[in-house]
Amino acid sequence: MKLKYFNFIFLMSVVLMFASCQDEEYSIPAAGTDLQNDCIKRSLGPNVVGLNIEFAYAMALPRDKGKLVSAQVEASIAGGSGTYLENRSFYTNSSGVDVGITVGNPSSTNGTKTEVTFSKDTCASTLRYYYIIPEEARGKSVSFKFSAKDSNGTTVSYDMGPYTVAKMDMKLDMVLSDNNNMYFSVADMAVMNSATAAANPSKVDLVYLYRSYTTVTFLHALVSPANSEYLPGVTLPAGVNNSTPLWKVYGLRDQQLARLQYGIYVDDLDFTQEDFTGAPNYGINMKAESGAWVQTADGVYRAYIFVNKVDNTKKEMTISVKRYKMK
């Protein structure tokens, strides 16, 4: 009886050793004999209206089997103005620089389809596709069908997506300046001067000011018009009195706003999950690369304001904003 168990365990051990030690030899994959294609998405982060989604579409067939004739991309929603398929195939040189070789005529876009016709006798090419996200795609999903045709009439295709397009808006590099363009409207995503603020008092959400004191650190500040405590020496236009809840944030360097090396992205979900309960309505001593979550007084919009840079001499602050409509 015992011997039977021993034999069983011994056999299992041998099987286990055999399975774990088996050496799988690598073999170079055999090249296909027909036209083939592949595609990758190159751009990262949320798909924001106005920005692009970038792809690299590769197609090839054996040299003796013919040449490439055309490449085409069909988007489920027609791309915005500036959508194009590269007519150059890129390679990376020894210095790490991408060098483009023209292989076809500039792309033509007709509705949802963008096409490049090859002008060079080539059997392998990688073309990049830049899809400018149109307003019509906001909050929807967009997908793509890449296809290539060779001189034999063979066609291959590759489906990409669907990709969700964010609902949020984005605006970059707005300059606020003390005592001049010092008003910011989240609803308009715009900087205003006194005259514009006076004409649209309900739209002014924040006031920018710069104050330098020897005893306290105030410097660059974003303050709600309703908070007179932190608006020293500021006379607001009549009717400008919104109280905008604001959470100061440090270290949230959204890649699309900051355009720095950090792979952090603020997306639609972040706006919906932000809780403004108990939030103050001012933020003083705002530094470069810091930011603030804000919500308009009427609760219609939420925004993330990123401070790209501050200038103590000019008394200026450059901001980039992502904004989400809540209701």
Partner 1 sequence: MKKYLLTISAVLLALWAWVGCTDFPVDEDGLLITTRGECYVSNFELLGSDFQTVRTKAAVIDTTAQTINVEVFYGTDLKNLWPQFSLVTDAKLDPKITGRVDFSDLANPKKWTVISGNRKVEKTYTVYLTVQPKP
CB atoms < 10 A from the CB of 16, how many? 10
Alpha-carbon torsion angle 143, 108, 55, 174, nearest 10:
-90
Q: What's the min distance (Å) between Cβ of 300 and partner 1?
A: 23
Interaction of residue 233 with partner 1, rule CB under 8 A: no
Which CB sits closer to partner 1, 91 or 262? 262
Stretch that binds partner 1, among 148-156, 195-203, 215-223, 301-309 (CB under 8 A): 215-223
Residue whose tokens read 């890129």: 90
Which CB sits closer to partner 1, 81 or 215? 215
The one among 90, 247, 265, 276 contacting partner 1 by CB under 8 A: 247
The one among 290, 295, 296, 320 contacting partner 1 by CB under 8 A: 290
Which CB sits closer to partner 1, 182 or 246? 246
Interaction of residue 215 with partner 1, rule CB under 8 A: yes
Q: What's the min distance (Å) between Cβ of 307 and partner 1?
A: 12
Q: What's the min distance (Å) between Cβ of 5 and partner 1?
A: 22
The one among 12, 216, 260, 326 contacting partner 1 by CB under 8 A: 216
Spatial contact of 285 and 307, defined as CB atoms under 8 Å apart: no
Token pair in block for residue 203:
């739209």
The one among 92, 110, 217, 261 contacting partner 1 by CB under 8 A: 217
Interaction of residue 284 with partner 1, rule CB under 8 A: yes
Interaction of residue 306 with partner 1, rule CB under 8 A: no
Q: DSSP letters along 218-282, please?
A: -EEEEE-TT-GGG-TT--PPTT------EEEEES--BHHHH-SS--B---HHHHHH---TT--SE
270: alpha, beta or left? (left if phi > 0; alpha if psi -120 to 50):
alpha
Using alpha carbons, select from 303, 318, 320, 321 the residue that is nearest to residue 220. Answer: 318
The one among 84, 230, 271, 301 contacting partner 1 by CB under 8 A: 230
The Cα angle at residue 301 between residues 324 and 210, in degrees rounded to 5 = 105
Q: How many residues bind partner 1 (CB under 8 A)?
A: 22
Q: What's the min distance (Å) between Cβ of 218 and partner 1?
A: 7
Interaction of residue 249 with partner 1, rule CB under 8 A: yes
Q: What's the min distance (Å) between Cβ of 9 and partner 1?
A: 22
Spatial contact of 168 and 133, defined as CB atoms under 8 Å apart: no
Q: What's the min distance (Å) between Cβ of 289 and partner 1?
A: 12
Calculate the alpha carbon distances from 275 to 64, 245, 271, 278, 299 in Å: 63, 10, 9, 9, 12
Residues of this chain that interact with partner 1 (CB under 8 A) are: 211, 213-218, 221, 230, 232, 247-251, 278-280, 282, 284-285, 290
